[in-house]
């Protein structure tokens, strides 16, 4: 059995930044990359809003840069997924998908969240070519263009309002005959002349030669007056929610009703002393790389202080 002072789970901006700080503090951190090495940013093409890249940077390239920085300070980065944890005894024990067991004095959870998709093949086909799950990340590329936002909750209304500030026209594709969003958000989209809400609509697919040029939609699917038509758009934004990747920790760690890890008073501390959370797995609100990186820094600083206080 292997032993480490600091185990980091996840390899997005939060996990890698935690590894940089933990490495520089001589904690010799071990990091397991998880399902998607580099995290959600590897699914985007251009990242324009991360400080230090004035010309923008490819998402994969940026994550490679941060990874190399973590390796420079002695972080031990490994492929693999943590499939089981025991936070009931110290040191904590964690099991990988290949059956290895590791003991850790401190743990930083940075497993991120996964955007929910409709499940259409075209979403994969056009990923990064017109399909996005983050308006704040990608909206800028659609200035003065026409886009659609899928969803009827607060997130969808927020994304549609944000995009309306950039785009020529925003359609909201809403499955139900009403918006689920709060009254204030409903009012905001209903009163925005650039936003058109398509109630009782479903997306059947997307089309386009070199990227998204439109969506195949159906109104009142399955009803006598069902209507199918093509909606010309340049971008297709999903806003039907995110699922935090926290299932494996749920027997031990406090999470909210959606599964996001609850942290103590704005710190990365969880309900278990010595276990910290960073990035999108604990952030239902901002979901930005820069925020995740900052929280990874905080988690590593907290882990370092915790280990020092315990004499570990």
Is the confidence at residue 307, as pLDDT, over 90?
A: yes
How far apart (Å, rounded) are the C-alpha atoms in residues 183 and 160?
15
DSSP 262: P
Options 3.30.70.3000, 1.10.15.40, 3.50.50.60, 3.40.250.10; which CATH number does 2-114+243-310 get? 3.50.50.60
How far apart (Å, rounded) are the C-alpha atoms in residues 111 and 59?
18
Each residue's pLDDT tens digit, 195-253 = 999 999 999 999 999 999 999 999 999 999 999 999 999 999 999 999 999 999 999 99
For the chain, the first-to-last Cα distance in angstroms comes to: 18
Q: Does 121-238 carry CATH code 3.90.420.10?
A: no
Each residue's pLDDT tens digit, 69-91 = 999 999 999 999 999 999 999 99
How far apart (Å, rounded) are the C-alpha atoms in residues 232 and 147?
9
- Residue 271: strand pairing partners: none
pTM above threshold 0.75: yes
How far apart (Å, rounded) are the C-alpha atoms in residues 189 and 123?
25
| Structure tokens given for 298 | 């905080």
Each residue's pLDDT tens digit, 104-159 = 999 999 999 999 999 999 999 999 899 999 998 899 999 999 999 999 999 999 99
**What ranges do the domains of the chain cover?**
2-114+243-310, 121-238
- Residues recognised as catalytic: 134, 137-138
Rounded mean pLDDT of the chain?
96
- Residue 94's alpha-carbon distances to 3, 7, 9, 221, 310, in angstroms, are 10, 9, 10, 47, 20
Are the CB atoms for 201 and 175 separated by under 8 Å? yes
Each residue's pLDDT tens digit, 19-60 = 999 999 999 999 999 988 998 888 777 888 999 999 999 999
Would 2-114+243-310 and 121-238 be classified into the same CATH topology? yes
Taken in order 64, 69, 70, 75, the sign of the CA dihedral is positive
């Amino acid at each position: 059995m292997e032993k480490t002072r600091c185990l980091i789970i996840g390899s997005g901006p939060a996990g890698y930044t935690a590894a940089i700080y933990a490495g520089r503090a001589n904690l010799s951190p071990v990091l397991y990359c998880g399902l998607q090495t580099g995290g959600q940013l590897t699914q985007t093409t251009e990242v324009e809003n991360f400080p230090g890249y004035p010309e923008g940077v490819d998402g994969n390239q940026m994550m490679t840069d941060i990874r190399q920085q973590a390796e420079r300070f002695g972080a031990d980065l490994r492929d693999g997924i943590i499939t089981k944890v025991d936070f009931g005894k110290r040191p904590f024990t964690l099991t990988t998908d290949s059956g290895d067991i590791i003991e850790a004095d401190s743990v930083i959870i940075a497993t991120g969240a996964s955007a929910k998709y409709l499940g259409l093949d075209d979403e994969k086909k056009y990923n990064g070519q017109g399909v996005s799950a983050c308006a704040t990340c990608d909206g800028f590329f659609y200035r003065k263009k026409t886009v659609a936002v899928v969803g009827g909750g607060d997130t969808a209304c927020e994304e549609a309002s944000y995009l309306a500030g950039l785009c020529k026209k925003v359609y909201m594709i809403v499955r139900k005959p009403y918006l689920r969003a709060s009254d204030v958000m409903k009012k905001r989209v209903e009163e925005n002349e650039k936003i058109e809400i398509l109630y009782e609509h479903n997306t059947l697919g997307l089309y386009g030669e070199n990227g998204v040029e439109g969506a195949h939609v159906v109104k009142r699917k399955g009803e006598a007056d069902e209507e199918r038509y093509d909606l010309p758009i340049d971008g297709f934004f999903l806003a039907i929610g995110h699922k935090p990747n926290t299932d494996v920790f749920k027997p031990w760690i406090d999470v909210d009703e959606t599964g996001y890890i609850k942290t103590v008073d704005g710190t990365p501390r969880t309900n278990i002393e010595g276990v910290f959370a960073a990035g999108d797995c604990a952030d239902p609100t901002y979901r930005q790389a820069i925020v995740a990186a900052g929280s990874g820094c905080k988690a590593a600083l907290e882990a370092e202080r915790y280990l020092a206080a315990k004499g570990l």
